[in-house]
C-alpha cells in the first residue's frame, strides 16, 4: 500500500504551527456536519483539541498530498497521522497505515 500524505492547514486560526515537530502524532476526525465542507476533516492533538483541518482546496494542498475529499473515503471516522515537515504554506503529514481502510484496486 502506498503511503498517504495530507496537508494540515488553517493552523493560524487555532494555535499556529510552531509547536509541530516531525514525528509528532496527530489525530483526524471527520466532521460531516461542517456547514462549509461536508468532507471536512479536523486535525487534533491531545490536550489542545482542533489545531487545523486537512486541506481541501487546490490552493492549499501541498505537492502530491491528498485533499480531504480524496482522503475521506479511505479512512474511518477517526484516524491517526504523523507530522513529516512543517513548511511555510502548511504542514505535511502522513496517514498511519493502520488508519487506512480502503485502497482502490490497482494501488499497492
What CATH number matches the domain at 5-99, 3.40.140.10, 3.40.50.300, 3.30.70.2330, 3.40.50.12780? 3.30.70.2330
Rounded distance between C-alpha atoms, residue 50 and residue 59, angstroms: 21
**Over residues 21-30, mean pLDDT:** 97
Tens-digit pLDDT profile for residues 49-60: 999 999 998 888
For residue 58, give the 3-state DSSP assignment: coil
Tens-digit pLDDT profile for residues 74-87: 999 999 999 999 99
Rounded distance between C-alpha atoms, residue 105 and residue 102, angstroms: 9
Task: Look at residue 1 in the predicted model and tell me its pLDDT.
Answer: 58
Per the listing, cell 482546496 goes with 57
Percent of residues, the chain, with pLDDT higher than 90:
79
Amino acid at each position: 500500500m502506498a503511503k498517504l500524505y495530507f496537508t494540515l492547514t488553517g493552523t493560524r486560526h487555532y494555535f499556529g504551527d510552531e509547536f509541530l515537530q516531525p514525528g509528532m502524532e496527530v489525530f483526524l476526525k471527520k466532521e460531516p456536519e461542517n456547514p462549509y465542507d461536508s468532507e471536512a476533516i479536523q486535525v487534533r492533538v491531545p490536550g489542545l483539541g482542533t489545531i487545523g483541518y486537512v486541506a481541501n482546496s487546490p490552493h492549499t494542498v501541498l505537492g502530491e498530498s491528498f485533499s480531504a475529499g480524496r482522503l475521506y473515503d479511505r479512512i474511518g471516522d477517526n484516524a491517526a497521522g504523523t507530522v513529516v515537515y512543517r513548511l511555510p504554506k502548511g504542514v505535511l503529514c502522513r496517514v498511519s497505515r493502520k488508519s487506512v481502510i480502503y485502497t482502490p484496486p490497482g494501488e499497492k
